[in-house]
Structure 1
Amino acid sequence: MRLRRAITDSVGASVVSAESPPGGFTPGVAARLLLADGRRCFVTVASAAYGDWVATAYRHEAAVNVHLPPSVPAPRMWTHLDDGDWF
């Protein structure tokens, strides 16, 4: 519940539905979200319990994403949450 609230607060709308695509490179969760205001977003979440390498990978992704030039066809990060337990 704490994690759901953090996501809701950061995107500014409640989550109506979530769909997790198959695949992935980490043991975390990846999901496409539909928000109550009609926007869509993609969220990746992982627990520190998976190990230091997971936290390092998620932190690195956040650090790199903000520096991508507009010409790179990649989603832009709205926010990055890191409370030490969840990334």
Structure 2
Amino acid sequence: MSIIKIKTGSGLATFTLPWNPELKASALIQNTGTQTFTGEQPVHVLGMHATSANQINAPDLSEDSLSKTEWALVFTLRFDE
């Protein structure tokens, strides 16, 4: 099992995910550059990824990069009207 805690303002959310023991390496995915976006499309803001290989790459939050990950959990910002 993997426990993920997210602090939001004054709150704290905790999620428990089943974890595949074959996943040997994991790392964060974060955007270190400046982003400009409108509220019309969802925006990936943070994630983590894992692989069963003993080597981890450094993906970004683009759709192309995420499609090449073995396993990923991505937090996405969506705007309500």
Q: TM-score, normalised by structure 2?
A: 0.30
Q: Which has the higher contact order (CA 8 A, sep 6+)?
A: 2
More helix, by proportion: 1
- Structure with max Cα Rg: 2
